[in-house]
Amino acid sequence: MLLKVGGVNQASGRPEGIHWHSNSSDQVYYWARDEDREDIPWVDVVHADGTHTIYKDESIQTAPPKEELRLMDCMDCHNRPAHIFRSPNDLVDAALSKEKLDRTIPYVKRNAVEILSMTFKSKEEARAAIVAEVGRRYAKGLPEDRRGKLVEDIYAIYDVNNFPLQGVHWRTYPSHLGHKTSPGCYRCHDGRHREEAGKAISHQCANCHDFIYQAHGDAAYGPVTYETRPFEHPGEDTSDYETQLCSDCHNEKVGWYPGHVDGKRDPNARPKEPEPEAAPEPEAAPEPAPE
Ligand code: HEC
Ligand code: HEC
Ligand code: HEC
Ligand code: HEC
């Protein structure tokens, strides 16, 4: 994926791309309904000649108080300058690709993401729960030493992403530099913020990035070729990713690989029945990966 980060075009002197917002000729003001500035119904762009373009969504009719408008700056997107927390889904993907999680364990991604999406009051409670969950899910499927290794690997991911003593974990401050697990750019670029004539703040995927290459299955391990194409959402039900918010399904409340399209499942709700495929028979388990 190629991001159109932008800046000032040296030839024309015109600011463009993603860093257009912090240019000096047009100023983007907005009004947020909440303290975390995640709910933004009103955007007021003041152009160099002093004219305004106001974009608003259906939820607001009258202008908000002027003194509550905020001039957009770097921190409205770069809200997580230092420690970047990532969703369990992304961390588990990274661990699998770096072989920090044994990818030969059946359903390891799904189980690890589900466990890491639970919340715990302390690191001790987390460790005990991970031991219990791995035991329950792999009672039959894995020998004890591999279960022990899996517990350590999952705990290592938990440990960098949750600080229960400080009350901070990966859900606390969603990053605004994207739009997958929280609204981020879609706080304004969701196609629902319109100016008077009905034109919405740009929502086209290609305004912000190009998808150079996408591959599924074995092809994903092949060399990358330069081939610009539209995004192909994985899975069979690709119904509505263009008009729905990505975070309606991939949200921080769910945080895992969304096997459920309603995205509403309580992350702490444990499945009532043990999932049949989560505890395969020993002979179904493939050989352990070489170190
Ligand atoms: C509209 C949202 C937004 C605003 C406002 C914004 N940025 Fe960015 N910035 C981004 C995005 C998106 C990226 C690309 C992030 C990535 O690669 O993951 C980025 C990347 C960067 C980079 C890395 C440069 C590169 O070419 O990869 C720097 C440095 C940066 N921003 C600084 C700033 C500063 C300083 C400000 C304020 C003057 C600012 N940004 C305002 C969204 C924004
Ligand atoms: C507070 C509202 C707001 C947020 C949040 C926001 N934008 Fe924008 N953005 C605007 C407005 C308003 C425009 C100008 C209208 C348009 O181009 O549709 C704009 C324009 C743009 C443009 C086109 C600039 C050009 O070259 O003309 C890009 C690219 C862009 N935004 C990327 C992003 C990205 C990426 C993020 C998230 C990291 C983001 N925006 C977050 C309000 C916002
Ligand atoms: C307003 C700008 C903007 C628009 C419009 C936009 N994106 Fe993005 N997108 C971003 C930014 C910024 C990121 C974060 C890049 C990063 O993490 O470095 C991102 C990330 C992504 C990712 C990577 C998610 C991951 O797994 O981490 C995908 C896939 C994606 N966008 C698809 C789309 C599709 C499809 C559309 C159109 C329906 C779209 N985007 C519209 C700015 C935009
Ligand atoms: C209607 C619900 C829904 C919406 C909306 C949706 N997704 Fe998904 N997404 C899913 C489901 C379900 C999967 C798992 C599909 C599978 O593998 O069978 C998935 C998988 C993915 C994956 C691969 C696995 C991962 O999470 O790394 C990416 C990347 C992705 N979606 C990006 C996006 C982006 C970007 C958007 C918004 C432009 C979006 N999705 C909107 C439901 C949704």
List, in order, residues 6 or more apart from 48 with CB less than 8 Å away.
Answer: 25, 26
Look at residue 275 in the predicted model and tell me its pLDDT. Answer: 39
pLDDT in tens, 230-241: 888 877 665 577
- Taking the C-alpha atoms of residue 241 and residue 239, their distance in angstroms, rounded to an integer, is 6
Mean pLDDT of 91-107: 93
**Mutation pick for ligand 2 pocket among 55, 78, 202 (CB with most ligand atoms within 8 Å):** 202
CA 104 to chain centre: 26
If you measure from the C-alpha of residue 5 to the centroid of ligand 1, how many angstroms do you get, rounded to a whole number? 7
pTM of the model: 0.86
CB 140 within 8 A of CB 279: yes
Q: Is the CB of 94 under 6 A from ligand 1?
A: no
pLDDT in tens, 104-156: 999 999 899 889 988 889 999 999 999 999 999 999 989 999 999 999 999 99
Burial of 273 from C-beta contacts in 10 A (0-12 / 13-18 / 19+): exposed
- Taking the C-alpha atoms of residue 89 and residue 259, their distance in angstroms, rounded to an integer, is 12
- Taking the C-alpha atoms of residue 141 and residue 252, their distance in angstroms, rounded to an integer, is 30
101 is written with which tokens? 């999680």
Amino acid letter, residue 198: G
Look at residue 156 in the predicted model and tell me its pLDDT. Answer: 97
Label the pairing between strands 70-71 and 52-56: unpaired
- Taking the C-alpha atoms of residue 15 and residue 19, their distance in angstroms, rounded to an integer, is 7
Q: Is the CB of 189 under 6 A from ligand 2?
A: yes
How many Cα atoms sit within 13 Å of 38 on the Cβ side?
13
- Ligand 2 atom closest to Cα of residue 177: 38
- Taking the C-alpha atoms of residue 1 and residue 230, their distance in angstroms, rounded to an integer, is 11
pLDDT in tens, 24-81: 788 999 999 998 898 999 999 999 899 999 999 999 999 999 999 999 999 999 987 7
91, 187, 195 from 211: Cα distances, Å: 22, 22, 29
**Does the structure show a pLDDT above 50 at 265?**
no
CB 99 within 8 A of CB 289: yes
Poorest-pLDDT segment among 189-193, 217-221, 282-286: 282-286
Burial of 98 from C-beta contacts in 10 A (0-12 / 13-18 / 19+): exposed
Residue 77: count other Cβ atoms within 10 Å of its Cβ: 19
Q: Is the CB of 4 under 6 A from ligand 3?
A: no
- Taking the C-alpha atoms of residue 229 and residue 206, their distance in angstroms, rounded to an integer, is 10
Q: Is the CB of 250 under 6 A from ligand 2?
A: no
Residues of the chain by 3-state class (helix, strand, coil), percent to 5? 30, 10, 60
Q: Is the CB of 32 under 6 A from ligand 2?
A: no
If you measure from the C-alpha of residue 19 to the centroid of ligand 2, how many angstroms do you get, rounded to a whole number? 8
If you measure from the C-alpha of residue 178 to the centroid of ligand 3, how many angstroms do you get, rounded to a whole number? 6
Label the pairing between strands 15-16 and 27-31: unpaired
Q: Is the CB of 207 under 6 A from ligand 2?
A: yes
Nearest CA owner, ligand 1 atom 34: 74
Look at residue 184 in the predicted model and tell me its pLDDT. Answer: 92
Burial of 113 from C-beta contacts in 10 A (0-12 / 13-18 / 19+): buried
Name residue 29's beta-bridge partners: 44, 71
Look at residue 5 in the predicted model and tell me its pLDDT. Answer: 85
If you measure from the C-alpha of residue 199 to the centroid of ligand 3, how many angstroms do you get, rounded to a whole number? 21
If you measure from the C-alpha of residue 166 to the centroid of ligand 4, how many angstroms do you get, rounded to a whole number? 31
